Amino acid sequence: MIEARALSETGRADVALEVVANIEGREVERLRGDILWKARRWRLAAEQIEKLLGERWRDASPLTEVERADVLRGAIGYALAEETIGLDRFRQKYLPRVADGPDKRAFEIVTAPFAASAPEFTEIAKAIAAIDTLDTFLRDIKARFPEANTAVAPSAGPATKPSERLVTGSAGRT
């Protein structure tokens, strides 16, 4: 997953997607969305984000900050792809989830018909694009592989302070 993320950052989206083709999990779904977003494959990115969100639109609990950003990214992706059917479906699903939240106006703007050419849309799209998904990616990796967070490298020998190694030399003499 880290390799795929790095490949994506260097503009090699197709190779990045191949690297994670046989890996499953929520964090991989997010990574695929990020790869497609970075590659400006708007429709595919929006579809991947919608897949990541799954049935979240049915849940009455408030969206988290990350989910709200995902919802806006999905809507922006559909709008940039001029995918009106996907955009309408997305709007119907998520308007009730954002109606009372801080992103209501932004969501209304990005899901309005033919909004992609409006100056307000451009401002919102730039703000959403500026959100660094690397932190979320790293959090997801840590959640998937908790043993990596606590792993300690094996010691090559008895621990000594650098000053002790300089004083004693390699043979242990002072």
Q: Is the pLDDT of residue 75 over 60?
A: yes
**pTM of the entire predicted model:** 0.70
Residue 157 has pLDDT above 50, yes or no: no
Residue 69 domain-assigned?
yes
Residue 153 domain-assigned (yes or no):
no
Q: What is the pLDDT of residues 45-67, one digit of tens each?
A: 999 999 999 999 999 899 999 99
* Other Cβ atoms closer than 10 A to 69: 18
Alpha-carbon distance of 13 to 32, in angstroms, equals 9
Domain count of the fold of the chain: 1
Whether residue 172 lies inside any domain: the answer is: no
Domain presence at residue 26:
yes
DSSP 45-110: HHHHHHHHHTTGGG--SPPPHHHHHHHHHHHHHHHHTT-HHHHHHHHHHHHHHHTTSTTHHHHHHH
Residue at 55 is within a domain: yes
The residues near 152 (Cβ < 8 Å, ≥ 6 apart) are none
Q: Note whether residue 47 is domain-resident.
A: yes
| pLDDT surpasses 50 at 74 | yes
Please give the residue that has the higher pLDDT: either 139 or 68.
68
In a domain, 80, yes or no: yes
* Domain contains 105: yes
Question: The CATH number of the domain where 37 resides is what?
Answer: 1.25.40
Tokens of 154: 């094996």
Q: Where in the sequence is the domain holding 42, given as residue range(s)? A: 2-145
